[in-house]
Structure 1
Amino acid sequence: MKKHKNEDHQDLEDTPHLQDTSSPKKSSRVDLKSNRSELKGVAGIIESLLRSFKGLAFILSMAPITIVCITSLGLAITPAYLLVSSVYQFSHDFNLLGHSFLMSMAIGMGYFLYGVSIIFVVPMFNKILFLKLEPWRGNWYSLKSLPWYYHNALVQLVRYTFLDLVTPTPLNVLFYKMMGMKVGKGVMINTSNISDPCLITLEDNVTIGGSATLFAHYAQGGFLVIAPVVIKKGATVGLKASIMGDVIVGEKVTVKPHSILLPKTRLNKGDPQ
């Protein structure tokens, strides 16, 4: 597998558009082993506790999004339950074969009702929670990393329960748009391997090939780095290609199948891959 080489690779510390909240001074070294937060006040106390008791703190910090996911599932399943319940009441006096067939059909239809519902329910909660990510670099155990966890938990809930069945269709494009992805006209998305959609831009006539992977983050040197991905007009991302955070793909560029674009890559037409 061939990786794209970026000749202009800069050190992570010099990336101008990433906000480094892990240290008050960019010139100072960050001690990743320290449990002390750089934030002040109550936020600093909470973040220090988060780093001091990582296991327990992680479980507690994930409790809110767990409740949101359960509520989302409940709301999305409700139409399916109503359908199955109605068919059961209608057919319970039928013979066994007729009752079983109608109930099986209702369960199958109920699943697709759930799928369409979850595509709309999850973006609603994403907006209620104001889960809009911004470029950022810092400790994994930070308050600013929580929106990243929450946003992607909601995305994966839809992906692993239904989205693969409607990829590629206008429904999966609509879902990513509602989750904050900037999508131009004539875009085809033939993959569900997408994280951080609110930091991804697909301009007009972009094609994302089957099983390609897009994510607007990466890990480096013990830090979580959240950085946008931009794929410009007319570009094509080939089968099973991977595009990481802080990457720009130029107009009418074809990213070869199975290739990997590493962070800070700026790929223009004619550049080697």
Structure 2
Amino acid sequence: MKNNERFDVLSTKSEKSGVSGVVESLLRRFRTVGFILLLSPIALIYVFCMGLAFSPGVMLFQWVQELTAHSHTILKGISLGFSMALGWVMYGLSIIFIVPTVNKLLPLKVAPLRASWFSLSVIPWYYHNALTYLVRYTFLDFITPTPLNILFFKMMGMKIGKGSMINTSNVSDPCLIEIGDYVTIGGSATMMAHYGMKGILIIDKLVIKDKATIGLKASLFGDVVVGEGATIKPNDVLLPKTRIPDREKDAA
């Protein structure tokens, strides 16, 4: 859909043709039920990813339990406690690889778009972010910033140049974020390649060029370009369509 094209976000009729148009029209007419049906597989995907990631820890716990079955209560408790703690670490190291693999296997590709929230074209976006948040809210903070969080974001499709550091887990739409070489992302900064307005979801790339610095708790949205060597101050907000020139921040 073109940026200057207007449409009724409350319309129950799809602009698409064929089967996809029928499905989307039903989705818009029965929004709550429709989205439950289309997004409910996310719950099954969560169960699969988390179950697989927990499996090494569960096996370790069972092994320690059998090994200490006839040990003193104190020794047994300490051993099982350590096995549970190590099992959680094993979960985290597993989930950061399992989720990107599932993300790649899903036949859903996120691309820049401008559409109603209630349309089939936004479904891949929901799934991609749901998977990202699974890792974000269960383990990612504990490996930020390390090479492991960089690796996770790369596997989720984010383009990250050499020598860059991301000191935040507040990231959405990683597959549409591009970070150049030697970029520093400050702690608790928020990066997302989307925004919403007037009932419309807009998904567009967020680009941060070489040697830029993003300050603590700054917020960057979709359709933003930060120039080479630019510095964004802590708590700054870069709204959509913002263009920061190279090496300096232009307030205008």
1:99 and 2:76 are equivalent in the alignment? yes
Q: Distance in 2 between matches of 1:78 and 1:91?
A: 20
Question: In the alignment, residue 249 of structure 2 is paired with which amino acid?
Answer: D
2:197 corresponds in structure 1 to: 220
Q: Does 1:270 align with 2:243?
A: no
Gaps of 5+ in 1: 1-18
| 1:1-273 alignment runs, 5 A limit | 19-20=1-2, 27=5, 29-268=6-245, 269-273=247-251
Asked if the contact 1:248–1:267 (Cα under 8 Å) also holds between the matched residues in 2, the reply is yes
- CA displacement 1:18-62 (0-9 Å, x = unmatched): x449xxxx55x3111110000101101110111111111111111
Shift, 1:69, TM fit: 1.3
Partners of 1:205 and 1:149 in 2: CA distance? 30
Amino acid paired to 1:136: L
Partners of 1:226 and 1:52 lie apart in 2 by 23
Relative to the length of structure 2, the TM-score reads 0.97
CA-CA distance at 1:206 after TM superposition: 0.5
TM-score with structure 1 length normalisation? 0.89
Alpha-carbon distance between aligned partners in 2 of 1:20 and 1:158, rounded to the nearest angstrom: 34
In 1, Cα distance between equivalents of 2:222 and 2:22:
30
How much identity, in percent, do the aligned residues show? 52
* CA RMSD, 1 decimal: 1.2
The alpha carbon displacement at 1:221 in A equals: 1.6
Distance in structure 2 (CA, Å) of the matches to 1:20 and 1:152: 24
> Deviation string for 1:68-105 (max 9, x for gaps)?
11100111111111111111110111111000000000
Residue identity in the other structure for 2:194? H
Checking the alignment, whether the CA contact within 8 Å between 1:185 and 1:205 is kept in structure 2 is yes
Partner Cα distance (2:33, 2:108) in 1 = 23
Higher relative contact order (CA 8 A, sep 6+): 1
Aligned pair count reads: 250
Distance in 2 of aligned mates of 1:252 and 1:214: 18
TM-superposed deviation, 1:270: 2.9
8 Å contact 2:218–2:236 — kept in the other structure? yes
- Aligned-partner Cα distance in 1 for 2:46–2:106: 12
